[in-house]
Structure 1
Amino acid sequence: MITIYKKMGHPTGERVSGDTAMAVLTRTELDLAYSSEKLLNLEILLMQVSSRARDFEALTTEYEDISNESIEKAFEFDALSGILNMEVKELDNFMASLQMEIMDAHPKLSWDDHLGESSIKIEEKLRDAEESIKQLQDLVADIRMQSAKFEGTLAFAHNETRTGGDEEMENGHFSSMNSKWKLQTVDQQRHLLQILEKSLAREMDLEKKLSDSRSNEEDLKLKLHYAERESYLMEETLEMILEKMFEAENAAELLLGIAKELIGKFQIVQLNLNGSLHRECEMRTKLQESMTKLSAEESALEKLKTSCAELDNILVVQENGLKASLKEADCKCMLVSSDVLTLIEKVRALEEQLSESDIQLQMAKASVEASQEQQTLLHSELSQLENVIEGLKENVWKTESRAESAEARRMQLTKTNMELNEKLGLLRNSGSEKAILLETKLKESNRQLEHAKASVEAMEQQQNMLYTALSDMEHINKELKGKVAKAESRAENAESKCTLLTETNLELNEELGYVRSRLECLETSLNQTDDAKVATAKDIGIRSKIITDLVMKLSLERECLQLQISALRKKNKVLAERCKTKDNAPITPSHKGSDDGNEFSILKQSEEALTESSTTNFQVGKPAVAIPVHDTGTDTTVSEEDSSGAECKIESVRTIEATQLTPVFLLMVFLVLLISVLTFYVYQRKNSDA
């Protein structure tokens, strides 16, 4: 059997849509190489199938003596022709897919703007690939034509076997066809040989190009790697040198600036703390003053309460001392109102002080937070300084190692110099040329020695500078640590003071609440005293009205009494005259009766006027004031002795009652005047308060 060499290509379905143009180009080149190799294999297969076709044609011409070998050859020819047809179809499909891929790669080049000039080269390569694909497609078409001819020969042979008798009739025609076929196969073989030579030459060129490109890529990669490494090393060395230089130059300035900033911040913190302490002292003094004032106010309020109780008792017990008690109550109410106003003002002042203390607390908290932030900044700066010190120590260690290596080199150079001097002393006699060479070597060694000495001195100077910088940094670090400790202690003190301020603030709030409650109690007591004052004023008004009514009634009754007294006096005079006339001469009864009737009529008129006046006026509750008027004139038939005795009794009684009424009347008038004055005074005070 014939072995067929096949190479599996990359399937088209596994290609990624997001590949770049370069990836597509490399893939197309590989696919072209694969297709050219497969085409070579197909051409080899075609040559073998054509040789089997010749054997098959010889068998068809000599079909009378067919052996088993000839049948096997026929089967081989049939199988190989079928394989050839299958492979040709597969290659044709693969070439079509490759062409489609190249067509899809063209718009990708237009999208990839970052390629620039390389896109033109890629387009040229893609065009060359298209041309080579077209040539390969032409070759595949030729192979397909030849495989179709092989299928025709197979079909012709089958027809011959089926129509055995007819073959003899058409021998001439078949011989002519056979000669044509032979000619065609010779031409095909030549054509195939030419194609094979071209494909081999192309393959060789492609392999050379691939090997050259791979070698160039490897060389470029190595060069790039070495160049990157050298540049990286150079950059590292430059960075190290620049870092050392800048660190050595700017470390002192930076540290000085940081130290100044820290000193300024500490001073600001100290000022803030001093201000907060001063404010705390002021707040404490104000609190003490307010406490003393509150205690004084409480004592005054207690006194006011006691005085109010006394006033209430005096008002209940003594009605006669209303004026003095009212005056004292008004004065005390005025004092209480003034005290309440002062208390309100003090409470407002305390509230303002509390608000100020809250503001100061907020300021103190803000200052504490700022100090904490400064502490964190100081800690970060200290850590940075420690890192810088560690870096400087590493640099010192490196410089010491370099200095040691330089000293070792210097020692080696001195030894070599001594050896060369000895050799010079030994070889001066040997020859001038050797002496010159040795002198040149000595000069070079001396130069190297001087250079090494200069480098050693420079390294020693750098070491000294680094040691001084390290000592300065250590001193600064110690100072910063001390300042940080001080700042932490100050921050702790500020926090403790803040806690004290919060506690005092809470105490002040409690005291304010207590004072407000006391103020509310005082206001309620003031309202009660005002209500009591209003009630007492109403009672005084009612009693003054009652007293005025009593005074009016007394004045009316006095008038009535005076009228009665005048009437009685007249009656007494008349009776006295009658008595005199009786004693002097007897009187006639008719004239006597007329005189008595006249007198009796006069008395009746006076009594009726008195009764009318008494009924029209108010009634008085005291029984001593009322006089039985009707009893005096009821008995008209009284004797003269009885009438005279009665007149004497009436005169004595009336005179006594009149003498008893005069001081009471004066007292009542005085009381009325006092009550009117008090009411007028209270009314004026109410108007002034309103």
Structure 2
Amino acid sequence: MTMNETAAITSDISNPNMQNFLHEGLSYNTKDMEGVQNALKVSYEVYMTLAYSSEKLTNMENLHVLLDENDIGSISVEDDNISAEPIKKALIFDMLCAFLCSEVRELGNLLGDLQDTIVNALHEISSFGQPTELLTGLESKLCDSEESLKQSQEQVMKMKIQLAKLQMSSFSFKQNERKYDLAGSFKEEFHLESTEFQPQMQKIEQRRVLRMLENSLAGELELEKKLTELKQNEEDLKLKIRLTEQVAVYLEEAAEGAWSRFLEADNTAEVLMGISKEMVGKLQIVQLNLNGSTKREEEMKSTLRDCINQLNDKEFAIGKLNSSISHLIADNSEVTHLREHVKMLEKKLNKTESQLKEANASSETSQQKLKEMEGEIQSLKENIYDTGSRAESAVTKVTHLTETNLELTEELNFLKGSNDRNKKKVSILEKQVRELDIQLQHAKASSETSQEQQNMLYSAIWDMETLIDELKQKVANAESKTESAEDRCIILSNTNSELNEELDFLIARMEFLEKSMNQATIEKKSSTEDINIKTELIMDMVMQLTIERERIQKQLYSLTTENKLLREKFHDAKKVASVVQRGNSSSNKEFPSSELDSSDPVLTKFSAEEETPNKLLREKFHDAKKVASVVQRGNSSSNKEFPSSELDSSDPVLTKFSAEEETPFLSTSFRAGVLITGGYAPRSE
């Protein structure tokens, strides 16, 4: 690890956001910490590389300014004098162009690698589970750096375009130099004008080639832009697909949780339905028990009425017994002592009667309380069975009291003989009355507890009903959530299918673009090969032209020499013709010349050899004149030294001269020489 990386990591750790993240790191594992550290390192590297690339771009712009200053497009190579300064400028221009091209290529590769690292870092940050302030800050920084990277890439593309234009200007300068060299060589060799030897077709071809190169470079730049845009779109689509996959996973997890909750709610609803059914069955049983208890209460009321009537009859019988006892006391003196005892017993009986009255009153109050309990039981409807059993026990106790009263009456019949027994029975009766009071109190307490239990049951039933309603609402909400989740899943599946279709379309488009790029490169190569072949052909043609020009110059030189010879011969022929014309004028008077001497040896010899000398001389003169005119025309077309003497267009010699292509002057000179030598050979002798 370098010093810069350690400094960056320490500065990031000293950041309060990083400290908060480290404090929150108890909930994260070591992998998340390593991922965050890697993201921090990547952000620092991106920042440093962007700073480096910006400095490099400024330096390259300065170099481009130097290139604009050393522009060789304005240098003219058409003049004869070229100094060493434009050549130096051209060399400096080529060196700077090559250096800038290499630097731009390296910077483009570095920016491409940096874009890949930024995309990977964003993917790692998005893969974390819980987003924190540090992660959001890192993500925003990386997004800003990505935008600045796009701007720097655009600047690099502009630099590439400008360099391509400058290289094309340098190419045109080199072509102009080559033209100038060719023109100079032609001037030095043949001393002709430069305008006659400049290949116009070559200029047009080179311009067309330059335009084709410009178009191809522009197409390449556009294709590179499109490729970068397609790569960015592909990366955006990959990020979108990853995010949609994460959202789908989260939705599946949420749907699974909602489904589990729905199943739990369904199970609880089924359990509560079973409990409610059990409670309804219990309520029905309680209602049946209440109906039975009401019937038993009515029966108990009827039995109580019978008991009261029997007690009244017993009281009446007791009064009769008291009257009979008084009569017996009056009859028996021995009974005085017994009377005291009887009085005592009467007092006790009065007490028992009072107690019985109290018991009757208590029974009446108990009846009233039972009526109240009936109303309460109708409202509460629970635990009446216990109260009924207790009422039955009370009825049994009342019957037991009636039986005890009967026993008391029987015992009163035997009071005289059994006072001790009466005392014991009275005590037993008192105890039984006390027990009845205690049992009545227990019955009151049990009725109150049964009422409380019934209230508790009603409250529990109400709570269960509210719980059932709440569970039904929760089940409905869960169903709605599951339906919404299913709809979202359907929407996500549709979006996934659309994204897959878009991906397939983009992949096909990428393949098509790659094919088109390959075709463009192949066409480029073929066009460059054609250009090279054409340039070679042009150079070969130029060489052939130079060779042919040299040959033509040699022919012209030979023809000029032949023309000089023919001119001399023509002058000689003119002299001979004048001499012959003078001789003919003396003989035939056709030529307007002076007479010749008859003693001329040449004329005498010529007249002796030829029978018709005048005709032959005339024909030879006309032939020589025609040859001279033809030679004069050839000289006027080539060098323009003789004065023009026009001949008839129907002359066979002229038509033959125009039909010949490369050696007209040789044929004419040969004919003229043959005619002249053939006509004047005997005179030379």
For the criterion TM > 0.5, the same-fold answer is no
TM-score, normalised to structure 2, is: 0.36
TM-score, normalised to structure 1, is: 0.36
